[in-house]
């Protein structure tokens, strides 16, 4: 039986190789054999204030990146979250069933709000909107990076809680899908922190649209250690282990083979080769991105995707409104 797959990426700049290797790569792999819906989650992006013009550009950038990495609108539904009003509606319904206690335990909220009384309520409710995104489509599988694990767990808890109150057939209880390698790519300047779009140091990440010179600089300057051995050891050699992971997923060579290949060879050569592998993988994505971004078809693709997504969402929303006794239509 084909499964319903749903996932999303926030339209902020600097989409990086962590986003690609942890999430986007899975999106592409899944689209041939499943019923996939991929969203650009713009409502999530406004939990922190955004310049409207930049937000609009970022939405189109992520849409173009989706297509550039290989998503095919003939196979997958690709759309922008705020074009389907069911996301916000279902988020409200779920919020009425989510506990403030469980939301205050979300690590992303704790990190971003830093206990401030003026943290926006949207930042607090963010994981509920994410649960709504997923449950709105009766999704079975959610391909994401490791950092979303807690949010997926909350989604499952909410689905089960509502099902217990309103009937087992209200929501499909989804599962996260995490890759063995690539689910958590670390920052290049600090391999104890995850690679992030918002870190201040641009050399902490490789963005999918970075040119060869920037890729080279970030890899050559990346933090390693001083023992000179190319060995996978997350605890004692987090920097080298992170580079090995990136090398392995971009090249398709198992980490154990890379360790053998680089036995007795220094970090310089290893890093130089990794620059080549990474540049080689990103160049075609960058080229396709430029073409797609300049073509006039992107907006039509997104409008068509929104229509199809809305149809799928309405099926679930009618069922949910009915279960809760909402509306009279």
Candidates 3, 197, 214, 323; catalytic one: 197
Give the nearer residue to ligand TYM in terms of CB position, either 147 or 157. 147
Closest CA to 44 of 153, 132, 113: 132
112 given a catalytic annotation? yes
Q: CB–CB of 142/6 below 8 Å?
A: yes
Quote the Cα angle for 270-205-245, to 5°: 45
CB of 14 to ligand TYM, least distance (A): 10
Give the nearer residue to ligand TYM in terms of CB position, either 65 or 262. 65
The residue at minimum Cβ distance from ligand TYM is 22
Give the nearer residue to ligand TYM in terms of CB position, either 73 or 145. 145
Give the nearer residue to ligand TYM in terms of CB position, either 44 or 271. 44
Alpha-carbon separation of residue 293 from 58, 62, 73, 180, 210 (angstroms): 11, 10, 15, 32, 16
* Binding region for ligand TYM (CB under 6 A): 6-10, 18-19, 22-23, 41, 44, 130, 133-134, 142, 144-145, 147-148, 183-185, 194-195
Give the nearer residue to ligand TYM in terms of CB position, either 133 or 275. 133
CB of 228 to ligand TYM, least distance (A): 26
CB of 165 to ligand TYM, least distance (A): 23
Give the nearer residue to ligand TYM in terms of CB position, either 24 or 162. 24
Give the nearer residue to ligand TYM in terms of CB position, either 185 or 219. 185
221 given a catalytic annotation? no
CA distance 189 to 207: 14
Candidates 50, 75, 112, 323; catalytic one: 112
260 given a catalytic annotation? no
CB of 140 to ligand TYM, least distance (A): 13
CB of 223 to ligand TYM, least distance (A): 15
CB of 306 to ligand TYM, least distance (A): 16
What is the SS3 string spanning the chain?
A: CCCEEEEEECCCCCCEHHHHHHHHHHHHHHCCCCEEEEEECHHHHCCCCCCHHHHHHHHHHHHHHHHHHCCCCCCEEEEEHHHCCHHHHHHHHHHCCCCHHHHHCCHHHHHHHCCCCCCCHHHHHHHHHHHHHHHCCCCCEEECCHHHHHHHHHHHHHHHHHHHHHCCCCCCCCEEECCCCCCCCECCCCCCCECCCCCCCHHHCCECCCCHHHHHHHHHCCCCCCCCCCCCECCCEHHHHHHHHHHHHHHCCCHHHHHHHCCCCCHHHHHHHHHHHHHHHHHHHHHHHHHHHHCCCHHHHHHHHHHHHHHHHHHHHHHHHHHHCCCCC
CB of 18 to ligand TYM, least distance (A): 3
Residues with a catalytic annotation lie at 112, 194, 197
């Amino acid at each position: 039986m084909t499964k319903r797959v749903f996932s999303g990426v926030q339209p902020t700049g600097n989409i990086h190789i962590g986003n690609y290797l942890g999430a986007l790569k899975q999106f592409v792999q899944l689209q041939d054999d499943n019923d996939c819906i991929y969203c650009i989650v713009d409502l999530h992006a406004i939990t922190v204030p955004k310049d409207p013009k930049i937000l609009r550009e970022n939405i189109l950038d992520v849409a173009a990146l989706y297509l550039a990495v290989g998503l095919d609108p003939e196979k997958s539904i690709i759309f922008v979250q705020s074009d389907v009003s069911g996301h916000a509606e279902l988020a409200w319904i779920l919020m009425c069933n989510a506990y403030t206690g469980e939301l205050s335990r979300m690590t992303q909220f704790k990190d971003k709000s830093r206990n401030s009384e003026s943290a926006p309520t949207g930042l607090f409710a963010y994981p509920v909107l994410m649960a709504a995104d997923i449950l709105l489509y009766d999704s079975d599988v959610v391909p994401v990076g490791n950092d979303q694990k807690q949010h997926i767990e909350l989604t499952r808890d909410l689905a089960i809680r509502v099902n217990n109150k309103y009937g087992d057939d209200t929501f499909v209880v989804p599962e996260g899908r995490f890759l063995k390698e690539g689910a958590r790519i670390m920052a290049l300047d600090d391999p104890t922190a995850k690679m992030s779009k918002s870190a201040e140091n641009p050399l902490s990440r490789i963005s999918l649209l970075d040119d060869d010179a920037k890729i080279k600089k970030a890899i050559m300057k990346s933090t390693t250690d001083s023992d000179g051995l190319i060995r996978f050891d997350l605890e004692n050699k987090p920097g080298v282990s992170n580079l090995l992971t990136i090398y392995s997923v971009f090249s398709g060579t198992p980490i154990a083979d890379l360790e053998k290949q680089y036995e007795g060879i220094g970090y310089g050569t290893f890093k130089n080769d990794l620059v080549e592998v990474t540049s080689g993988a990103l160049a075609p994505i960058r080229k396709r991105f430029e073409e797609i971004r300049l073509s006039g078809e992107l907006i039509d693709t997104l409008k068509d995707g929104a229509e199809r997504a809305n149809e799928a969402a309405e099926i679930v929303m009618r069922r949910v409104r009915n279960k809760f006794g909402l509306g009279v239509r």
